Structure 1
């Protein structure tokens, strides 16, 4: 069994973790969370989304949060679902952007009112504009394993999106278990097949913990050769367009597993940071 000696954890709590909170988390608290996370050693964080505030009110302060990230000098990722959102991200100097397309066309329709192929067609202009500005592009394949609207998502459906992202020149491709229903066997199979088909592509794994299998899925992805993972401090998260989906895999749980396995992350998180993150959510029980 060959495991990586080091992995990169990308903290997504400030964006993916908070986007579904029903009560607005103040901008100052978001800044405080980002500051504490940056002091923990994260090299990259997903901190803002330039989606229209009508659809995700929690992200209405994207410009101010991004400006703060610029002040800190950290590498952050901003979600840009369309060209208008991308222009806003470029205006504030976001160093990395993320686009997303659902492998399940049924989910994509619910999420952005477009089929998967329609969204992929729209990505062309996004990629071109970002590349003209030398911006790093993260491409999400959402709902890559199971979908609450269609059921099982096939490898061919995922491969269809991945191939287009590769052709467009994505810098990394993030495979998401958006509703947290994947199990380790299918996770290993998915990533093993993708890495065989696209050996030069950087893949990231993104797991939600709805079925309490996110840690096991992380391990399975590592067995398949993945060494980059999205995590959210305190297990923050959820998807507003995926009924029943719970939070992301908790950063502190992944850190503990990596530590016990002797795998380096470069991250040292204080208990106070975890407690603060959990205090921002009305969706997490307990302290």
Structure 2
């Protein structure tokens, strides 16, 4: 990753997965095709997980078949939660990245993937093997990376320990994920520079959840911490269903764009297509 280039990861999958009403496949595909023209580095477009657990993503393979990748440099990322999902995802040539939510909270790992941390570590190892054989790259999210609401032990040393283990296993892209919005500007400033310095050969990103009132502060903290890979979602839609506050969603992409523009960072985005996607989003999210 170029030292001066920001990797913006747009996350419509994260935004849509919790919607109660099923979004028609055609509308999903239309929305994603617009986002593919904006110029993001990566599009987190879907997931290969249990249709019973996440009904909204049951048509991911069909959506993928409807995506126009002929005129975009944006790479596709799909989320997986177990080995079966990995095996399904690697069959698709169009997908470059497989993302796995590796929780450093035992409680959340069980709730999210119905497996223990040790079982999930095995899944990561197998995912790395399959990715290597299929010319794909693994993205591991250190879920509950800024704390958890379950009383499970959390501190920076635990974050660093798991980052060490995963990097040693061969993970080249790690994203510290604030699953329920418990990150603070102080935590971001304390943790991210240490990770970026220690794992300087690893791509370290951040996936924050926030309320509208603290989004900008968290974006600014991540920027000043030196983070170059940033996950976000249009209008801040989405968020973890376990979040106590209904307003706790993703970081809003338009806030990230606005902030980075204010710092004169070169983003090379097609704002016309972005505005079209903003307009179409109303049909999906209401």
Fold-level similarity (TM above 0.5): yes
Paired position in structure 1 for 2:237? 236
Gaps of 5+ in 2: none
Alpha-carbon distance between aligned partners in 2 of 1:70 and 1:48, rounded to the nearest angstrom: 15
> Greater CA deviation, 48-57 or 218-227?
218-227
2:260 corresponds in structure 1 to 258
Q: 1:269 Cα shift?
A: 3.0
Query: Given the two structures, how large is their TM-score scaled by the length of structure 1?
Result: 0.90
Q: CA deviation at 1:267?
A: 1.6
2: CA distance between counterparts of 1:269 and 1:152? 43
| Residue 54 (structure 1) aligned to one of 37, 52, 57 | 52
TM-score normalised according to structure 2 size: 0.90
Q: CA 1:138–1:180 in 2, change beyond 3 Å: closer, same or farther?
A: same
- Which residue number corresponds to residue 28 of structure 1? 26
Moved over 4 A (4+): 70-74
CA offset at residue 177 of structure 1?
1.0
Aligned residue number for residue 132 of structure 2: 131
Find the counterpart in structure 2 of residue 110 from structure 1: 111
1:280 is paired with a residue whose SS is: helix
Whole-Å Cα distance in 2 between the matches of residues 153 and 66 of structure 1?
A: 37
Instruction: Map Cα deviations across residues 66-125 of structure 1 (whole Å, 9 max, x no partner).
Output: 223365464100111112111111222222111111111222122223332331133211
How far apart, in 2, do the equivalents of 1:209 and 1:218 lie? 10
Task: Quickly say closer, same or farther: Cα 1:67–1:179, change in 2 above 3 A.
Answer: same
Paired residue for 1:177? 178
Tell me the SS of whatever aligns to 2:262.
helix
Q: Conserved in 2, the CA contact under 8 Å of 1:234 and 1:275?
A: no
Matches of 1:169 and 1:126, distance apart in 2: 11
Aligned residue number for residue 189 of structure 1: 190
Judge conservation of contact 2:34–2:276 (CA < 8 Å) in 1. Answer: no
Return the alpha-carbon distance in structure 2 between the equivalents of residues 20 and 235 of structure 1: 13
Structure-2 residue corresponding to 1:223: 224
In the alignment of these two chains, the number of paired residues is: 278
1:69-108 matched pairs, under 5 angstroms = 69=67, 71-72=69-70, 74-93=74-93, 94-108=95-109
Task: Work out the CA distance in 1 between the residues paired with 2:170 and 2:67.
Answer: 26
Shift of residue 196, structure 1, vs aligned partner: 2.4
* Kept after mapping to 1: 8 A contact 2:48/2:85: yes
Partner Cα separation in structure 2 for residue 136 and residue 243 of structure 1? 33
Go from structure 1 to structure 2 and tell me whether the alpha carbon gap of 1:54 and 1:181 turns closer, same or farther (over 3 Å shift).
Answer: same
Deviation at 1:135, TM superposition (A): 0.7
Q: Gapped runs of 5+ residues in structure 1?
A: 283-287
Matching of residues 127-166 of structure 1 within 5 Å: 127-150=128-151, 153-166=154-167
SS of the aligned residue for 1:95 comes to strand
- Offset of 1:240 from its aligned partner? 2.8
What is the aligned-residue RMSD (CA, Å)? 2.0
Note if contact 1:17-1:236 (Cα within 8 Å) is conserved in structure 2: yes
